[in-house]
Amino acid sequence: MHAEAAIREPLILGHKTYADITNDIVGPIDNKAPRGWYILISIAALIAAYGTGCILYLISKGIGTWGLNKTVDWAWDITNFVWWVGIGHAGTLISAVLLLFRQKWRMAINRSAEAMTIFAVIMAATFPGIHMGRIWMAYWVFPLPNQFGSLWVNFNSPLLWDVFAISTYFSVSLVFWYIGLIPDFATIRDKVTRPVMKKVYGVLSFGWTGNAKAWTRFEEVSLVLAGIATPLVFSVHSVVSFDFATSVIPGWHTTIFPPYFVSGAVFSGFAMVQTLLLVMRKVMRLEAYITKKHIEYMNIVIIVTGSIVGVAYITELFISWYSGVEYESYAFINRATGPYFWAYWSMMTCNVISPQLFWFKKLRTNLGFTFFMSIVVNIGMWFERFVIIVTSLHRDYLPSSWTMFHPTWVDVGVFLGTIGIFFTLYLLFARFFPVLALNEVKSILKGSGESYKQQAAHHHH
């Protein structure tokens, strides 16, 4: 029995061969999509169209269509921005950090996670754009020479930091994602039957031949990019947290923001990966590759990051009391007991208490429960941003100017719209691109495939 226990559970189930892996991933691309895909993309596209309408209405009418007022001058726009950037962090973490740590379980999920990152960052980028108010002035955020008639940008502006953070993050993620796709595009090019598709995937794969030199370079480039992307996980969300932390508003100027924004981002990102992958493995029939083990590993990351966030919340509360600044303590007392108490306690329940249920193996390996929890976590993380932003603003130093924030239909429509656009993009990706990094999955077949594991077990006895 000792030999059995020493062997980890296989990451690829069902006695797959190399050819099976190719067929399972290329099959859905070459043939007609399953009916579920058409239903999902229709729903997503409708929501996306509605959201696009809301954004156009907003740009034509102005920011007055949002529920902002003289006291609460920053609300859903920045909440959604930070939420989307956060969701994007799981992709980089799964791809880059786990690559550097040589974790085999990343292979089945990294491609989906990277695609998710790209689309989430695009959604995030729309928010600084539309909250400028006059989007036709957007080019002012680029450091243009004075001949353009504009002065140089204000490097003290958080809006500018967001521009640098997003553009860096997007470009590195895009390169990382695309380079990983090249060998898989070549595999598809060699498998598909329709001449047009052969041509398109041939162009996309840059004439990849798969000789030894190409693979060596591929691995080198992947390592270099992972080395660049890993610090980005930390820097990007730290910069986003500076939008608040460098100000003087009680409840915002907190030095703990960068680390806990980063862990919160990974937390919500992994939750979104769970939401997407649990649907994917059903619709695309990938149960053999995205196994209970993968889901469990991701839930463990959710426990860890959720607990870090919990410690951060409690630290914040303690420091607000310990500081002896009555405005600071009031900001936190008002969060927990003021008119927005429901948002604060939703955040606490969803982000701190609920992930602790994953300590039970039965729950963290239960797919239905995991799916439910992944949505709960993302609701909690949205509320976290909302609580930080709105409750710090709505009751300021002058009780005469205290107000409540009420979102309008435009606020809601724009947010729902970005969710629709995100899912539309993701579904298109899942239809035409290999949703599993099939060549990377092949690389772990001998070490982690079920049949090979059993042979190894027999040798032990």
Q: Judge whether residue 14 has pLDDT over 70.
A: no
Least trusted range by pLDDT, from 120-129, 221-230, 407-416, 431-440: 431-440
| Count of positions (residues) in the chain | 461
Which of the given ranges, 16-25, 316-325, 378-387, has the highest pLDDT on average?
378-387
User: Which residues, listed in sequence order, are joined to residue 449 by a DSSP beta bridge?
Assistant: 12
Given pLDDT bands bounded at 50, 70 and 90, which one contains residue 449?
A: low
Residues 6+ apart with CB under 8 A from 266: 89, 90, 93, 233, 301, 305
Query: Taking residues 183-208, what's their average pLDDT?
Result: 77
Which of the given ranges, 107-121, 276-290, 435-449, has the highest pLDDT on average?
107-121
CATH fold of 2-460 reads Formate dehydrogenase/DMSO reductase fold (1.20.1630)
63 burial class (0-12, 13-18, 19+ CB within 10 angstroms)?
Answer: middle
Q: Judge whether residue 2 has pLDDT over 50.
A: no
39 burial class (0-12, 13-18, 19+ CB within 10 angstroms)?
Answer: exposed
- Its pTM stands at 0.84
Query: Which pLDDT does position 22 carry in this prediction?
Result: 60
Q: Judge whether residue 404 has pLDDT over 70.
A: yes
Given pLDDT bands bounded at 50, 70 and 90, which one contains residue 31?
A: low
Domain boundaries of the chain, sorted by first residue: 2-460
Query: Which pLDDT does position 460 carry in this prediction?
Result: 57
Q: What percent of the chain has pLDDT over 90?
A: 0
Least trusted range by pLDDT, from 76-80, 105-109, 242-246, 339-343: 105-109
Q: Judge whether residue 416 has pLDDT over 70.
A: yes
Query: Which pLDDT does position 3 carry in this prediction?
Result: 47
Least trusted range by pLDDT, from 20-34, 203-217, 426-440: 20-34
C-alpha dihedral over 320, 321, 327, 328, to 10 degrees?
0
Instruction: Tell me 62's DSSP state.
Output: -
Given pLDDT bands bounded at 50, 70 and 90, which one contains residue 445?
A: low
Which of the given ranges, 88-97, 144-153, 175-184, has the highest pLDDT on average?
175-184
Query: Which pLDDT does position 5 carry in this prediction?
Result: 45
Cα-based angle 159, 272, 20 (whole degrees, multiple of 5) = 130
Q: What percent of the chain has pLDDT over 70?
A: 82
| Rounded Cα–Cα distance for residues 371 and 310 (Å) | 21
Query: Which pLDDT does position 198 carry in this prediction?
Result: 76
Cα-based angle 45, 110, 380 (whole degrees, multiple of 5) = 60
Nearest to 294 by CA among 306, 310, 280, 305: 280
Residue found by looking up tokens 């009031």 in the block: 330
Query: Which pLDDT does position 379 carry in this prediction?
Result: 87
Q: Judge whether residue 453 has pLDDT over 60.
A: no
What value does the mean pLDDT of the chain take?
A: 78
Given pLDDT bands bounded at 50, 70 and 90, which one contains residue 4?
A: very low
Query: Taking residues 91-98, what's their average pLDDT?
Result: 76
Given pLDDT bands bounded at 50, 70 and 90, which one contains residue 227?
A: confident
Query: Taking residues 98-119, what's their average pLDDT?
Result: 76
Query: Which pLDDT does position 1 carry in this prediction?
Result: 45
Query: Which pLDDT does position 183 carry in this prediction?
Result: 81
Structure tokens at 456: 């190894």
Query: Taking residues 407-425, what's their average pLDDT?
Result: 86
Higher pLDDT, 326 or 237: 237
pLDDT digits (tens, 9 = 90+) for 148-159: 666 677 777 777
Least trusted range by pLDDT, from 27-36, 108-117, 178-187, 366-375: 27-36
